[in-house]
Structure 1
Amino acid sequence: MLLQYKCPNCGDDMTFDSETGTLLCHSCGRQENIENFDEDLISTTFSEGEAKEYHCHNCGAVIITDADTTATSCGFCGAAVVLADRLSGILAPGKVIPFSISKDEAIQAFKKWCKNGRLTPKGFMNADRIKNITGMYVPFWLYDLNNRVKVSATGTKVRTYTRGDYIYTETQFFDVYRDINLDYVKVPVDASEKMVDGMMDKLEPYHYTDLKDFKTPYLAGYIAEKYNYNDKELLPRVKSKIQRFIDSYISSTISGYSTVSYKNKQIDTKKMKSVYALFPVWMVYYDYDKAEHTFAMNGQTGKVVGKPPISMAKVGMWFGGIAASTFIALKLISLALGGGLW
């Protein structure tokens, strides 16, 4: 089923506006509260199953999507459409963080980010080669996890003292036990096979105060993907993701020892709850030096991640500056200690 949201004033299509958090008609300026939007104003076109072909209700053009797309726009008239049949049943998201950064704001934020690159080429820093920027809702699973941790270790305390002409080292050994109950809530893991996991991880954190119950109008005007991996399939990854936090917490409870040697560390992680959510991401495609560079921006906070090109000339100057500073510092130290000229 294809959904389009019609303006009650002029009948034109409405899209989600990140600034006001409402459905906005760009023709007459009318705004509609998403929670109270009249369902009679939703234009629907039905299709069967997982068809990749839809017909735009505005112009009749055929909209071609892949099987994972849940929201897109008509390539002919630009109408925002939501593919509702791909958002039902087990594919229905529970939560969504709406976009709070508009396309224009995203472009300006990206240009500012480019100019802050100390080691990027001058041409890249101009930030005038944006090929395309796309607002996309990326599927995530949010996990509530309970961790029962049991640890046994040997700790030592070393004391050195002098008695007469002798220096003594005294080492005491202690048995250390810990039985810890740890809860982590709303741990995010992206569920799209198209997104690079490392890039999506670096976009964190998202602020969960903006989490809203999912409603399809939030997707109007943006691209959205459905999940490729369910919560059971991604459970090993989320366990791996919190491992370093658990290790850090364990270490924080074992302090005051000179050394700690672990004999046994048992971590039993159980999923208490999982929620399917959509998070906002601006994908930026940037042309530089005959190559396309891909960056991602958190559509809520504006954080940018990606690998910009590096200017080897700037790298050389940077290391040269460090070497010169080190030489001068050593020279001054030498003179202060009475050393001669080199």
Structure 2
Amino acid sequence: MVVQYKCPCCGADMKFDSITGKLLCESCSYTSDIDTMQRNQNGNTTSSESYSNSTGSTSYGSQINQYICNNCGAVLITEPDTTATTCNFCGAPVVLADRLSGESSPHYVIPFQINKEQAQEAFKKWCKKGRLTPAGFMTADRIKSMTGLYVPFWLYDLQTNGEMNAACTHVSTYEQGDYIVTETKHYNVHRSANLSYLKVPVDASAKMNDQLMDKLEPFDYRSLKHFNMPYLAGYVAEKYNYTDKDLFPRVQARVANYVETYLRSSITGYSSVSVLDRRIHIRPRNAFYALLPVWLVAYDYKDSEHVFAMNGQTGKIVGRPPLSKGKIFAWFGGITAVSFAIIKIIALLAGGGF
């Protein structure tokens, strides 16, 4: 089913506006509060605003699905994981409601808080800060595309129990008559802790680079809202490829590192610490399916495409820009020259030759 939100004043398509947090008609500036729009069991919305839908869709094997745009009648051919997109012919925002029902219905969403214009300006400023990037890249005038994408994540609530045993020493030195005495005391140290972790995010899309998505954190969960389809209008959205059970080993390994770091940080005040063994148990309590906002930036530079990601809530940008060999050599050369000068000054002050 294709859902498109229509303005009750002029009949134009409405999109989610990240500035106001409401549905916006760009034709007459009418806005609608999404939070007051009621959600029924299928995830559809009902309010004084109208939405048009088409129940017709055609499936071509397991790879693509065909939908019909309610505005222009064009055929929308999408990948199986797409849940929101725009019509390639008339540009109308569409939400594929039948892919957002049942087990595919998200629990939560963090709406975009940075619009496309703001994202472009933030990306250009970020490019100009690259001290070791080529001058041509720093101009930030080769943005090929910027896509607002709701990426599927699982948010895990976890209960953990950790134990750690360590061999520690405490070394002290003191004078005793004509002797300097060094005393070493040995300790067997045990630490244990029960820790709860709430809403640890793991991206559930096969298309997204896991390391890139991890670096986009943290997201501010104070903006987390119960899912409502109008938030997707005007953006691209995808559903998860992996279930919470599929991804549990990944979040388990990640949180195990958190617990180990916590236990190790609690062993302080010793001259040396040698961890003998550790036991960490992690139990899942809840897993929530959520859509989190990401701007994907495709940037052309010297006949190659570089992909960057921006947190659509906080503006944090991650990615690996190209490096200038000339700037790198100049930077290391400058450090070497400064170090050489400092050594020479110290030698002169000490009265030695050079």
TM-score when normalising by structure 1: 0.96
**What's the counterpart of residue 249 of structure 1?**
262
1:137 to 136, 150, 159: 150
**What's the counterpart of residue 83 of structure 1?**
96
**What's the counterpart of residue 100 of structure 1?**
113
Q: Does 1:10 align with 2:23?
A: no
**What's the counterpart of residue 339 of structure 1?**
352
How many positions carry a matched residue from both structures?
341
Instruction: Map 1:234-313; keep pairs closer than 5 Å.
Output: 234-313=247-326
State the Cα distance separating 1:39 from its structure 2 match.
Answer: 6.6
Distance in 1 separating the partners of 2:48 and 2:54: 14
State the Cα distance separating 1:223 from its structure 2 match.
Answer: 0.3
State the Cα distance separating 1:49 from its structure 2 match.
Answer: 8.2
Instruction: Map 1:195-214; keep pairs closer than 5 Å.
Output: 195-214=208-227
1:168 to 162, 181, 189: 181
Distance in 1 separating the partners of 2:193 and 2:58: 48
Q: Deviations over 1:64-92 (max 9, x none)?
A: 10000000000000000001111111110
1:41 to 25, 50, 59: 50
Instruction: Map 1:20-39; keep pairs closer than 5 Å.
Output: 20-37=20-37, 38=47
State the Cα distance separating 1:155 from its structure 2 match.
Answer: 2.1
Distance in 2 separating the partners of 1:269 and 1:244: 11
Which moves more between the two structures, 7-16 or 29-38? 29-38
% same residue: 57
Instruction: Map 1:309-320; keep pairs closer than 5 Å.
Output: 309-320=322-333
Distance in 2 separating the partners of 1:295 and 1:50: 33
State the Cα distance separating 1:166 from its structure 2 match.
Answer: 4.2
Determine if contact 1:94/1:214 at 8 Å carries over to the other structure: yes
State the Cα distance separating 1:327 from its structure 2 match.
Answer: 1.3
State the AA in 1 paired with 2:21.
Answer: G
State the AA in 1 paired with 2:7.
Answer: C
**What's the counterpart of residue 336 of structure 2?**
323
Which moves more between the two structures, 155-164 or 326-335? 155-164
Q: Does 1:180 align with 2:180?
A: no
Q: Deviations over 1:49-68 (max 9, x none)?
A: 86611000100000010000
Partner SS, residue 229 of structure 1: coil
Determine if contact 1:50/1:67 at 8 Å carries over to the other structure: no
State the Cα distance separating 1:338 from its structure 2 match.
Answer: 1.3
Partner SS, residue 246 of structure 2: coil
Determine if contact 2:58/2:66 at 8 Å carries over to the other structure: no
Q: Does 1:127 align with 2:140?
A: yes
State the AA in 2 paired with 1:43.
Answer: S
Determine if contact 2:147/2:236 at 8 Å carries over to the other structure: yes
Given the superposition, is the C-alpha separation of residues 190 and 39 from structure 1 closer, same or farther in structure 2, using an over 3 Å criterion? farther
Determine if contact 1:151/1:265 at 8 Å carries over to the other structure: yes
**What's the counterpart of residue 41 of structure 2?**
none
State the Cα distance separating 1:240 from its structure 2 match.
Answer: 1.6
Provide structure 1 residue ranges, at least 5 long, that are not aligned to the other structure: none
Determine if contact 1:73/1:222 at 8 Å carries over to the other structure: yes
State the AA in 1 paired with 2:86.
Answer: S
Determine if contact 2:256/2:282 at 8 Å carries over to the other structure: no
Partner SS, residue 234 of structure 1: helix
Distance in 2 separating the partners of 1:63 and 1:330: 69
State the AA in 2 paired with 1:28.
Answer: C
Determine if contact 2:256/2:280 at 8 Å carries over to the other structure: no
Provide structure 2 residue ranges, at least 5 long, that are not aligned to the other structure: 38-46
**What's the counterpart of residue 155 of structure 1?**
168
State the Cα distance separating 1:164 from its structure 2 match.
Answer: 4.2
1:224 to 237, 255, 261: 237
Determine if contact 1:142/1:189 at 8 Å carries over to the other structure: yes
Determine if contact 1:81/1:220 at 8 Å carries over to the other structure: yes
Determine if contact 2:57/2:66 at 8 Å carries over to the other structure: no
Partner SS, residue 232 of structure 1: helix
State the AA in 2 paired with 1:6.
Answer: K
CA RMSD of aligned residues (A): 1.5
Determine if contact 1:114/1:126 at 8 Å carries over to the other structure: yes
TM-score when normalising by structure 2: 0.93
State the Cα distance separating 1:261 from its structure 2 match.
Answer: 2.6
